[in-house]
Chain A
Amino acid sequence: MSGSQFVELLVGGLAIGCIYSLIALGFTMIIRASGVLHFAQGELVMLGAMFGVTAHRLLPLPFAPLLLVGMVFGGLAAVAIELGVYRTLRVRRIPLINITIATIGMSILLQNTGQLVWGSEPIAYPKLFATTGYSLGPAHVAPQLVWIIGMGVLFMLLLQLFLAFTRTGRAMQAAAQRPETAQLMGINLTRITAYTYGIAGALGGGAGVLLGSLFYASFNMGFLPAIKAFVAATLGGLGSIGGAMFGGIIFGLIETFAAIWVSTSYKDAVGMVMLILILLVWPEGLVGLMRKGR
């Protein structure tokens, strides 16, 4: 493999990895806040991508505002689902495993609603980027990939700042660690959980616009990337914000390089074998391993 090819693969892997990280962050935030493995996360990705396409049809916006549209609609959809469905189940004291399976029902519901609204054919994403590549030495890198990495990293940084420094962000952290104690300290759990879903949905919706711009938008585009992002979150260390970011990027790189070094047909299997091996040796994922090594 030549150096330029390596650089191009590296950038591609980082870009898809950033998208996985954004989706994985949504999984992580929800699992921390409510213990639910949210299977409908991929459908939030789909909704973000679809609303992005629709917005572009109505008004040919450039990339950044379009991304915002995807995030806003993804976030709103997630809040609506949480307040309308999951909260009702929680109030009725339905066991967690049932709520988790109800999210599979939500995934089926949203996917097929998406198919009714936007049809079953994949929708080509509008050209949002210049086609001339940047030159990095002998390697050519598409501006789109650079944008995706930039936006992905930006959102992850913003999320970290939000969780560490704002009142709401810290309330979320507190509610995730000790819900009862947080409630005693005057934190409104209903509102905080809704915010958490909102942020998870916004990250998913944003990831949807990024993913759509890379390939296309379709009603079932979200399910498989979401499963992979969840695997990535587990690889990094489930329930850890850093683990989700790190795991997503690692998984994107593994997938991209496995396609070249192993085989295109088995690129997904390589990630899964890695996952099983890592879980067997260090069940807390890569982040848990690093913490132990310190």
Chain B
Amino acid sequence: MVLVLFILVPIVYPQEYVVHVLGLAIIFAIASLALQLLLGFAGLLSIGQAAFLGIGAYTSAILTTTYKLPFELAFLAAGLSAGIASLTLVPITRLRGVYLAVATLGFTIIIHLVLLNEEWLTGGPFGILNIPWPSLGPWRLRGETSIYYLCLAILVATFIALRRLIPSRFGRALQAIMLDEDAARASGIDLTYYKSQAFVVAAVITGFAGSLFAHHSQYLNPNDFTFWKSIEILLMVAVGGIGSFAGAVTGAFVVTLLPEFLRAADEYRMVIFGAMLIVFMGLGHRGLAGLFSAVAVRVLQRRPLAEQAPAPGLSRQ
């Protein structure tokens, strides 16, 4: 039903700006799904996602502008390069909690400096201009609406893929690691193998999101990929609720769209945003997703025939 709503939006609201901002929210929803896999299902707190977003975005942009490669190839290369970059970080997945967070934060700062200073490759502080619209085979997607549908399709594909991943052997191993590392190791789960695999999978997905970001904005600037962006992606997951993929998508929409809605408050906009963030966090670790399912359960309980399906991802408790 929600999907139908998303498909209808550009038809009901054909303003370019609205569709543009929604497209951006969808791209960040893909990135926050990837972080949800790390944080909610493997317990890996990464503040390095902006680095993979940036690597994906720049790979895609450079391949389509300088080398005139078609979008499909550049898109795949974006995921690949982010994945390869994450391989260099595999050793740090051994670190726990805050240490992993700081190490990934450091990685974001390094990548941002590379994007800012390697002018021959990335255009330096001026960024990359005139990134072409994406193309799919013979079709060239032009305009905000068609790229919106492309992003939406990729979001849905990512969502379904991750949902299917969780009940697999891989997904169950991750959850076991998150609940108790020592018990998981004692049960014969190779911690480093599974953790680093989750890390690479998340990086590849974030790289894809980066490619979409490049072709959606058609302009890249190193300042889109500072550690602040990493923190923003973390906020999306936390606001939506840690441990729920639907929550990650909701959180991405709230964090991207809330400042737009608060435009009316003008200069108090970010003050209100900060205060609302604190209030959201006060809802507990299940975030907005938890709040929705609590409300839903309360409503459904009044009806005798209602089936109470547990919200996705909450089964870990």
Please give the residue numbers on chain A whose beta carbons come within 8 Å of chain B beta carbons, in ascending order: 31, 37, 85, 88-89, 92, 94-95, 97-99, 101-102, 104-113, 116, 227, 230-231, 234, 238, 265-266, 268-269, 272-273, 275-276, 279-280, 283
Contacts and interface: CB of A to CB of B under 8 A. Distances in A.
B115 to A, nearest CB: 11
Contacts of A265: 113, 116-117
Contacts of A110: 274
B253 interface: no
A275 B102 contact: yes
Contacts of B285: 94-95, 97-98
A235 to B, nearest CB: 9
Interface of B: 45, 91-92, 94-96, 98-99, 101-103, 105-107, 109-110, 113-114, 116-117, 227, 231, 234-235, 238, 242, 267-271, 273-278, 280-282, 284-285
B109 A105 contact: no
Contacts of B275: 105, 109
Contact of B95 (A31, A104, A268, A279): A279
B110 A98 contact: no
Contacts of A112: 268-271, 274
Nearest to B117: A265
A272 B273 contact: no
Contacts, number: 118
Among the interface residues A89, A105, A266, A275, which one has the most CB atoms of the partner chain B within 10 A? Answer: A105
Contact of B45 (A95, A97, A98, A104): A97
A275 B278 CA distance: 30
Interface of A is mostly: helix
A197 to B, nearest CB: 16
B284 A94 contact: yes
A188 to B, nearest CB: 24
Contacts of B103: 275-276, 279
Contact of B282 (A89, A109, A238, A280): A89
Contacts of B282: 88-89, 92, 94, 98, 102
Contacts of B117: 265-266
A101 B267 contact: no
Given A97-B45, A108-B277, A227 B92 contact: no
B99 A272 contact: no
A273 B109 CA distance: 10
Contacts of A108: 270-271, 273-274, 277
B239 to A, nearest CB: 8
B48 to A, nearest CB: 11
B235 A283 contact: no
Contacts of A231: 102, 105-106
B278 A94 contact: no
A101 B238 contact: yes
Contact of A268 (B91, B109, B277, B281): B109
B45 A105 contact: no
A98 B281 contact: yes
Shortest Cβ-Cβ A-B pairs, 10 listed: A109-B274, A105-B277, A108-B274, A272-B106, A102-B281, A112-B270, A105-B278, A98-B281, A265-B117, A95-B285
8 contacts: A89-B278, A92-B284, A98-B281, A105-B277, A105-B280, A109-B270, A265-B116, A279-B95
Contact of B92 (A89, A98, A109, A276): A276
Given A99-B281, A101-B235, A269-B109, 10 more contacts: A97-B45, A97-B285, A98-B285, A101-B238, A108-B274, A109-B278, A112-B269, A227-B227, A279-B92, A279-B95
Contacts of B278: 85, 89, 102, 105-106, 109
A85 B275 CA distance: 10
Contacts of B91: 280
B192 to A, nearest CB: 13
Given A266-B117, A279-B95, A102 B277 contact: yes
A94 B92 CA distance: 28
Most buried by B among A99, A101, A283: A101
A104 B236 CA distance: 12
A97 B238 contact: yes
